[in-house]
Structure formats: C-alpha cells, structure tokens
C-alpha cells in the first residue's frame, strides 16, 4: 500500500527517485538494527527520521557521503529537524570487516571511522591489498595491528554485522546501496541534494 504522502511526493519526482511501497515492518523497528543497535545522531525529538543502508566499498555511497551528506547534516540534522542512523549493508567481506572495525569499542568512533572510509575509499578499497591499506588508514583511528586483527577475529561481531544486512534483505527487501528511508518511505540510490531537500520539506514537522 502506498501512502498518500508517498503519492504526492512521487508525483513531483522522477520515477527513479519515487518512494518504494510501504514496508511490511517499520524500518525503525530496533530489531532490524540487531544486537548492536542503531547509533543515532541528531535530536531524539526530531520529526524526521533518516535511516540509510550503505556499504563503504560502494562508490555511489561514497559519493553521497562525500558530496551530499555534509549539506544534509548542516541543513537538517544540526538544526534539530532530523535524526540519522547509518546501518551497514556489507556487499563483500571487506565491507563486513570495515563495519566490524567501526563498531569496535562500542561504536564510540562509528561515524568518524565510516566517514574516513568513505572519504578515502579510493586509497584502500580498490587497491591490490585492500585489507592492508585499511589497516594503515585506521592507524589514525587508534588501531594498531594487534587491535585491528583482534576485532576482525571476533566471530560474534562478524555475525552481528552480517545479521543487519540479512535482516534488511529479508524484512525490508533491501537489495541496493545506498537505500534511504525517510520517515519509513524508501528511496533507492544516492539522491541529489535538491531532491533530498524537496522530499524532506514535504514531510510533517
């Protein structure tokens, strides 16, 4: 069932950016974040909830985070209108490793690490030895070799990171990165800034 709001917004957007059908379960169900839970930024009183499924090796995700995300954060999150959570959606073992490392130490450096990985994606994700390049890059985030290797040897953490992706596929039918959810409406692909802002302005609050 498509919501009335979805129809109104979709009429103003190109078909590529129209919202998908309503979900069988709400995307903000804490169960979909798994035992690790979501790491939110923004006011808990915000009227708009933005949940993104992304992979750090995805070039479209990196472009969105490097080029569009800073403006979204300044216009909507820092002003108290929106809150945001990034859920890892590994496309390959390298993504799984990256989200395991971002979740280390209880996820206290989750966004600094994922931001760094998106920003420097070309320097580690598409080289001959990407894991070695990631290890070198994350030294600046406090990972020496012993800590880096210990995190990646954590089977429970491995299962939890991959479980978030499995839940997204099974419950929400997420198949592509990035997939964006704005107050429960799904948008597939990296929305341009003007399209994203147009959608948010139509939301209540």
Beta-bridge partner residues of 185: 182
- Per-residue pLDDT reduced to its tens digit, 144-166: 999 999 999 999 999 999 999 99
Tokens 């300044």 belong to which residue? 74
3-state secondary structure of 178: coil
Q: Tell me the HSE value of 193 on the side-chain side, using a 13 A CA sphere.
A: 13
Domains and their CATH numbers in the chain: 4-201 (3.40.30.10)
Position 17 pLDDT exceeds 90: no
Q: For residue 199, what pLDDT is reported?
A: 96
Report cis status (omega within 30 of 0) of the bond before 62. Answer: no
Which has the minimum average pLDDT: 16-20, 38-42, 107-111, 128-132? 16-20
- Per-residue pLDDT reduced to its tens digit, 3-15: 333 323 333 343 3
Helix ranges (H only) for the chain are 4-11, 59-63, 69-72, 93-102, 110-119, 121-124, 130-137, 145-152, 155-172, 193-201
Residue 181, phi then psi, degrees to nearest 5: -120, 120
The total of other beta-carbon atoms located within 10 Å of residue 112's CB is 12
Please state, in angstroms and rounded to a whole number, the distance separating the CA atoms of residues 55 and 66.
Answer: 14
Tokens 């990171």 belong to which residue? 161
Please state the rounded mean pLDDT for residues 58-73.
97
Please state, in angstroms and rounded to a whole number, the distance separating the CA atoms of residues 144 and 204.
Answer: 46
């Amino acid at each position: 069932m498509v919501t009335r709001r979805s129809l109104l917004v979709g009429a103003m957007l190109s078909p590529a950016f129209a919202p998908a059908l309503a979900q069988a379960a709400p995307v903000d169900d804490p169960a979909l974040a798994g035992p690790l839970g979501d790491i939110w930024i923004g006011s808990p009183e915000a009227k708009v909830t933005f949940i993104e499924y992304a992979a750090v090796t995805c070039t479209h995700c990196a472009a969105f985070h490097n080029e569009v995300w800073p403006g979204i954060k300044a216009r909507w999150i820092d002003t108290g209108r929106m809150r945001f959570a990034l859920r890892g959606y590994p496309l390959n073992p390298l993504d799984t490793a990256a989200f395991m490392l971002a979740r280390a130490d209880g996820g206290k450096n989750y966004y600094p690490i994922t931001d760094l990985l998106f920003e420097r994606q070309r320097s580690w994700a598409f080289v001959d030895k990407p894991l070695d390049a990631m290890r070198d890059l994350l030294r600046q985030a406090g990972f020496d070799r012993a800590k880096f290797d210990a995190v990646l040897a954590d089977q429970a953490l491995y299962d939890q990171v991959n479980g978030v992706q499995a839940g997204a596929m099974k419950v929400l039918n997420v198949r592509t990165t990035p997939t964006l959810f704005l107050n429960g409406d799904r948008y597939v692909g990296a929305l341009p800034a003007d399209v994203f802002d147009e959608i948010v302005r139509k939301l209540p609050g």
